[in-house]
Structure 1
Amino acid sequence: MRSLRARKIGSLMTILGVAMVVWASIFAFGLSDGLDRTLEIAADPLDVIVLRKGSTSEAVSAVTEAAAREIKALPGIATDRDGNPLAASELVVFAYLPRHGSNQQVNVSVRGVDPMSRNLRAGMQIVEGRDFTPGLREAIVSRAMSNRFQRLGLGDTFKVEGGDFKVVGIFEAGGGAVESEVWTDQRVLAQLAKRTGAMSSLQFRAASQDDKQRLIDRIEGDEQIDLGAITEEDYYAEQAKMSGLIKVVGYMIAFFLTIGAMFAVANAMYGAISSRAREIGTLRALGFGRVSIVTAFLLESLVLCLVGAALGCLAALAVTFLLGGIQTGTMNASTFTEIAFSFDFGPAVLAKGALLAIVMGVIGGLLPAIRAVRMKVVNALREV
């Protein structure tokens, strides 16, 4: 520690460099984990999504009303208090809307829902305005999408399938995938889209895990309806894989930043060796072993990096606190629609930042430490 105090400027520059790398890496990890979290929390372990066989998403699927009625009547589907099956036929179409501050139009998912749809989405609530009225061209929009897109503010009007819909409410749903959607009445949307005989998907909740698997097998094995069934968890896991480019980019950024920081740490430690050659020679002459000297240099390197990691983590949390959270969006590679999500700066992301700092400290300090113990004692004692 005395050595660090003696080299205040060099130590400070190393700490700041590591802090900047950790700060940037936390944002990269937070971006990736935020997207994963958005898709993961959308899923209920008992929920099943029925699509046309071979379809990878609701956007390219079709489930006839006759098939939906047949599936809803199957035993093993959970029911509400009134004995109605917890199953909803839903239609997904696209609206083309510009983001705030841009005239470039982007696909936005508009979901036509039936009265049972809300029972399948836990935590969804209207926070501004009111719910849409069935039978009218009204819609409710997630707060995330309202903040990102023009024409989706409370009281605004947007066009989809040739019809004008008025935004009458803003909702939140705890950060799930539903917060990337606009909701309206299924029958109104189906009439405009000329899809009155077939919806995009059927979603239902099984009464138990055993019932869930039996229902999936029953649907998959029925050649007449020609439909596939997949758990909601697996469906969103596949969606996350298709949007995995953002994760690859994030980790590549963190990797290259870490390599740069390792050189900075190594440079600082080489400087320490040059200025302390006589001290190293004296320690060797007094009988201190090579392992002890290597350990001392590695500890010094780790202290620098961990202090930098702490500053980087605090800086990332401070930015998040001041901004009240950071929201962004990316394209769903399967549907080419916008996915809105928030950066995740939870313990796992901060731990990744700290782990990066430890890697920087060990690798950045190891080569200089090895050089230190390989110095000849006589030559080291002659250094001024």
Structure 2
Amino acid sequence: MLEQVLAILMFSLRTVPQRLGSVLTAVFGITGVVMVMVGVLSIGEGYKKTMKASGDPAVAMVLRSGADTEMMSGLSRQDTRIIKDHPAIKQVDGTPAAAAELFVIINLPKRGTGTDANVPLRGIQPQSYAVREKFEMLEGRFFEPGRNELIVGRGAVGQFEVELGKEIQVGANRWKIVGVFAEGGGVAESEMWTDAGVLQSAYRRGDTFQSMYIKLEDAARFTAFKSELIRDPRLRVKVMRQTDYYAEQSRTITTLVTALGAIIGTLMAAGAVFSAVNTMVTAVAARGREIATLRAIGFHRVPIVLSILVESTLLALAGGLIGGFIAYLLFDGFRTATMNFQSFSQVTFAFEVDAGLLAMGVFYSTVIGLIGGLLPAVQAVRSPVADALRSE
């Protein structure tokens, strides 16, 4: 049976040049399906990768009890002092690696469009650098505490009208950009940082903060650390791992993009299936007498069906590989910005076309090929041999 399948398949493939137009229509139809589907899903993968890179399981975030985001939170100076005294916090040069921070949203024009976007402006303390071990200064220098100076993430530089040495108007004050930093590809690269005390004064926040970032001596101590802070009668706080916080932040956008990709992929796949069916029906009709001759000289129906299915699958597989390759060239690493629906600020990220998405695209194309070849294969062996042999 295997020999019969191979013999019929080789015969079919040799006739491809005679039906090249219909074959290319099917292949490139599937190419388009896979390219678009992988391209759309790469948005969610890139966003999720950015959020994942932002988290450190040894870093805890402390917000006000009941707050889901930094924007909704508020901590007093007394709260931050109590939290910093906890023995589970890592000591760096004799100082607890714990930083109280502010988070506000400012409007800046997007690069190349002129439209305004919500950009995060974070007020930090000197200990913030110790908490974020992936921090790296790329250009310029650190801002000087007490002055209206900013450092900006490299993602923000690529997407918004900010650059080293430029002055921008924020509220009633002008601020000078003195440095550009990286933070391991995480969401912090979408932000602008300044001295927390200066930001408190500029936005009339008094002596309050919105969150605390804390580096634990051991990530395994998080559960005990969380339990002790929550039980402390002096505090009303919510404690979570930084990884969990950013995973929650990414859930809305990844769910939306995945659903959108599934809808687009399904609609386009329906068209690709019809294209594949049409191609294989044409191929079978053109070889009607040859197939009937094969059956008359002893070839079984099953090898004929299998050979048609294999041919259809090979064509679809070729389309899937081409589509995945084009999607990788066009989308992988493409940088953009989108809305974080939890903080209502822009997050810069790069599209991510990884091996999992490419494998999904190839699998998707294979399924389309199998479905597209099934009906023509069944029709090929159901036609009476005598009628097929008499056909022109």
The alignment's TM-score, normalised by the length of structure 1, stands at 0.93
Q: Which has the larger displacement, 93-102 or 215-224?
A: 215-224
**Unpaired runs of at least 5, structure 1:** none
Query: Quick check: 1:85 aligned with 2:93?
Result: no
**Alignment of structure 1 residues 246-285 onto 2, 5 Å:** 246-285=257-296
Of 347, 350, 354 in structure 2, the residue corresponding to residue 342 of structure 1 is: 350
State the superposition RMSD in angstroms: 1.9
Q: Give 2:10's aligned residue.
A: none
1:250 Cα offset (Å): 2.9
**SS in structure 2 of the partner of residue 96 of structure 1:** strand
2:39–2:331: 8 Å Cα contact kept in structure 1?
Answer: no
Q: Give 2:215's aligned residue.
A: 205
**SS in structure 1 of the partner of residue 61 of structure 2:** strand
Query: Quick check: 1:23 aligned with 2:35?
Result: yes
- Determine the C-alpha separation between the residues in 1 that align with 2:172 and 2:382: 77
Of 47, 50, 53 in structure 2, the residue corresponding to residue 38 of structure 1 is: 50
Higher gyration radius (CA): 2
- Determine the C-alpha separation between the residues in 1 that align with 2:314 and 2:262: 25
Query: Quick check: 1:175 aligned with 2:170?
Result: no
2:154–2:190: 8 Å Cα contact kept in structure 1?
Answer: no
1:265 Cα offset (Å): 1.3
1:135–1:187: 8 Å Cα contact kept in structure 2?
Answer: yes
2:104–2:121: 8 Å Cα contact kept in structure 1?
Answer: yes
**SS in structure 2 of the partner of residue 202 of structure 1:** strand
- Determine the C-alpha separation between the residues in 1 that align with 2:81 and 2:44: 39
Amino acid corresponding to residue 379 of structure 2 in structure 1: R
Amino acid corresponding to residue 361 of structure 1 in structure 2: G
1:95–1:159: 8 Å Cα contact kept in structure 2?
Answer: no
1:187–1:196: 8 Å Cα contact kept in structure 2?
Answer: no
Amino acid corresponding to residue 338 of structure 1 in structure 2: Q
Amino acid corresponding to residue 287 of structure 1 in structure 2: G
- Determine the C-alpha separation between the residues in 2 that align with 1:247 and 1:141: 31
1:130 Cα offset (Å): 2.1
1:260 Cα offset (Å): 1.9
**Alignment of structure 1 residues 107-256 onto 2, 5 Å:** 107-150=118-161, 152-243=162-253, 244-256=255-267
1:83 Cα offset (Å): 3.0
1:24-80 Cα distance to aligned partner (Å, 9 max, x none): 222112111001111111111121111111211111111222111111111222222
1:97–1:105: 8 Å Cα contact kept in structure 2?
Answer: yes
Q: Give 1:47's aligned residue.
A: 59
1:266–1:364: 8 Å Cα contact kept in structure 2?
Answer: yes
1:32–1:250: 8 Å Cα contact kept in structure 2?
Answer: no
- Determine the C-alpha separation between the residues in 1 that align with 2:371 and 2:183: 44
**SS in structure 2 of the partner of residue 204 of structure 1:** strand
1:77–1:211: 8 Å Cα contact kept in structure 2?
Answer: no
**Shift in CA distance, 263/335, structure 1 to aligned 2, threshold 3 Å:** same
- Determine the C-alpha separation between the residues in 1 that align with 2:206 and 2:160: 29
Aligned residues: 379
- Determine the C-alpha separation between the residues in 2 that align with 1:377 and 1:233: 66
Of 292, 309, 329 in structure 1, the residue corresponding to residue 337 of structure 2 is: 329
1:288 Cα offset (Å): 3.1
Amino acid corresponding to residue 32 of structure 2 in structure 1: M
1:320 Cα offset (Å): 5.2
- Determine the C-alpha separation between the residues in 2 that align with 1:247 and 1:329: 17
1:57-113 Cα distance to aligned partner (Å, 9 max, x none): 111111222111111111222222x23222111110011112123343221111111
- Determine the C-alpha separation between the residues in 1 that align with 2:337 and 2:220: 37
Of 72, 78, 87 in structure 2, the residue corresponding to residue 66 of structure 1 is: 78
- Determine the C-alpha separation between the residues in 2 that align with 1:218 and 1:379: 85
- Determine the C-alpha separation between the residues in 2 that align with 1:74 and 1:166: 36
1:274 Cα offset (Å): 1.3
**Shift in CA distance, 71/4, structure 1 to aligned 2, threshold 3 Å:** same
Q: Give 1:101's aligned residue.
A: 112
Identical amino acids, percent of aligned pairs: 36
**Shift in CA distance, 294/220, structure 1 to aligned 2, threshold 3 Å:** farther
2:52–2:186: 8 Å Cα contact kept in structure 1?
Answer: yes
**Shift in CA distance, 164/119, structure 1 to aligned 2, threshold 3 Å:** same
- Determine the C-alpha separation between the residues in 1 that align with 2:385 and 2:231: 79
1:31–1:250: 8 Å Cα contact kept in structure 2?
Answer: no
Q: Give 2:360's aligned residue.
A: 352
- Determine the C-alpha separation between the residues in 2 that align with 1:188 and 1:290: 81
